[in-house]
């Protein structure tokens, strides 16, 4: 997060009350207001390239989240249908109305909302947006769209991906498209990580059974996957720290570092802490230092550590590309979950399909190379660095490793042998699949004596 970015008010603070007002005195938002809020969120993704998670807070009404996330998930077919029914493009200052049209059409095509209600409340949202002149436009476009069958003439509309990403995925995984497109357009399952310092996995499974929460075993040893997602508060012992919500693939990272008892471990780009806590749950004797550039995200890490009952050796706000924060003592192992395009998590973050571009992939790869080069210097000889991303694009994965190995004589690939995923030139990758884990890449690097 940019250091200049203003912090969000904390729940329960006086400032938060000034921002939100007193919840007990606030009138619940009406249907038109909910649709206007969703349109503003989609507009922020389209024009300001913000993530929906940035725009929508934790207290966002479920309908607003469904409308905003669903519209981004089906953005390309919705855009094609709206454009075909507009006589001319809307002005830049009226792009919120364009976003409202997308939201309205999403309801008509993908939600069980009666057509008349979807159209009426979306038309009403024009007043909430301060543009009552658009009532007739919104009414006409939505009614015409509702009467016509969905048209998916272009590949973007058919696969609900931008052209550049369709081409990138076809190049990387020619034998898996269109299955990969379909998986990306689905909804992600809810996976849990049992906190084995408090409960064994069989015992926690019994608690889920008693609560009527159907589930299956995940790939990692402490992972369970619910058949139907539920609010975290419904999970047995959630407040007591018996369990955490974490995707199966993300949990794998904690299983891939060979750690001796009491090993000194750096989790770079650590927030919100799931991988660090997974390592501590596997072996509480290790000393994990969490590093992240975002102080706000590290606040979440502190809260999760308290809930789960974990103690970290250190928590550092710092830049992984500049080791000024380092105390001079080498680490036995490093986990680098590098910032990336997020193309393995489109089910959870469909806004990525709308806001990202090839230039973002290039920038991410440059940052990843810089992080690897910097962190290698704080790893002890004989140590291991696990590089991982939630990208499925080779430009951020094997290509980054190839470049790093070419200029780092004391680095060598350490193969990952596993029954899950696919082997790549320098690592192993999990690709999204219906009901399965997110897309994730892992590569293990061993550090030898200095050349």
- Residues marked active site are found at 390
Compute CA 34 distance to the chain's CA centroid, rounded to the nearest angstrom.
24
The tokens for 182 are 């379909």
The tokens for 215 are 């589930």
- Could you tell me where the beta strands, DSSP code E, fall in 322-423? 331-337, 379-389, 411-413, 422-423
Sign of the torsion angle spanned by Cα atoms 253, 257, 262, 265: negative
Other C-beta atoms closer than 10 Å to the C-beta of 196 total 17
What CA–CA distance (Å, rounded) separates 86 from 104? 14
> Residue 176: is the preceding peptide bond cis (ω within 30°)?
no
Compute CA 74 distance to the chain's CA centroid, rounded to the nearest angstrom.
17
Closest CA to 138 of 109, 80, 96: 96
Q: Which residues lie across from 388 on neighbouring strands?
A: 337, 442
Other C-beta atoms closer than 10 Å to the C-beta of 200 total 11
Other C-beta atoms closer than 10 Å to the C-beta of 197 total 15
Q: Which residue has the tokens 């497109």?
A: 181
What CA–CA distance (Å, rounded) separates 81 from 83? 6
Question: Which of 59-92 are b and which e, b meaning 16 or more Cβ less than 10 Å from the residue's Cβ?
Answer: ebeebbebbbbbbbbbbbbbbbbbeebeeeebee
């Amino acid at each position: 997060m940019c250091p200049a970015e203003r912090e969000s008010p904390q729940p329960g603070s006086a400032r938060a009350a000034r921002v939100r007002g007193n919840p007990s005195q606030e009138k619940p938002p009406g249907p038109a207001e909910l649709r206007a809020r969703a349109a503003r969120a989609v507009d922020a993704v389209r024009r300001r390239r913000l993530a929906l998670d940035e725009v929508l807070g934790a207290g966002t009404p479920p309908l607003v989240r469904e409308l905003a996330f669903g519209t981004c998930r089906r953005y390309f077919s919705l855009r094609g249908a709206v454009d075909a029914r507009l006589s001319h493009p809307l002005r830049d200052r009226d792009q919120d109305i364009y976003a409202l049209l997308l939201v309205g059409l999403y309801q008509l095509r993908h939600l069980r909302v009666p057509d008349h209600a979807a159209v009426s409340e979306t038309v009403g949202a024009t007043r909430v947006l301060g543009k009552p002149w658009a009532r007739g436009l919104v009414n006409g476009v939505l009614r015409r769209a509702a009467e016509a069958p969905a048209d998916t003439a272009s590949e973007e509309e058919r696969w609900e991906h931008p052209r550049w990403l369709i081409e990138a995925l076809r190049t990387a995984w020619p034998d898996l498209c269109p299955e990969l497109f379909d998986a990306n357009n689905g909804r992600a399952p809810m996976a849990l990580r049992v906190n084995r310092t408090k409960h064994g996995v069989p015992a926690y499974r019994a608690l889920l059974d008693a609560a009527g929460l159907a589930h299956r075993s995940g790939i990692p040893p402490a992972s369970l996957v619910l058949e139907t997602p539920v609010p975290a508060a419904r999970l047995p012992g959630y407040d007591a720290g018996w369990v955490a919500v974490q995707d199966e693939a993300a949990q794998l990272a904690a299983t891939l570092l060979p750690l001796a008892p009491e090993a000194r471990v750096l989790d770079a780009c650590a927030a919100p802490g799931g991988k660090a806590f997974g390592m501590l749950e596997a072996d509480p004797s290790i000393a994990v230092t969490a590093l992240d550039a975002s102080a706000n995200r590290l606040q979440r890490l502190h809260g999760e550590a308290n809930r789960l009952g974990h103690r970290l050796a250190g928590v550092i706000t710092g830049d992984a590309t500049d080791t000024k924060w380092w105390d001079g003592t080498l680490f036995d192992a490093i986990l680098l979950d590098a910032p990336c395009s997020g193309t393995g998590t489109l089910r959870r973050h469909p806004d990525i399909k709308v806001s990202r571009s090839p230039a973002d992939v290039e920038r991410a790869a440059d940052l990843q190379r810089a992080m690897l080069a910097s962190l290698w210097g704080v790893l002890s000889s004989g140590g291991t660095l696990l590089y991982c991303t939630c990208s499925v694009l080779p430009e951020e994965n094997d290509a980054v490793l190839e470049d790093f190995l070419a200029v780092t004589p004391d680095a060598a690939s350490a193969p990952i042998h596993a029954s899950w995923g696919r082997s790549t030139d320098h690592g192993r990758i999990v690709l999204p699949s219906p009901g399965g884990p997110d897309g994730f890449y892992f590569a293990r690097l061993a550090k030898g004596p200095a050349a």
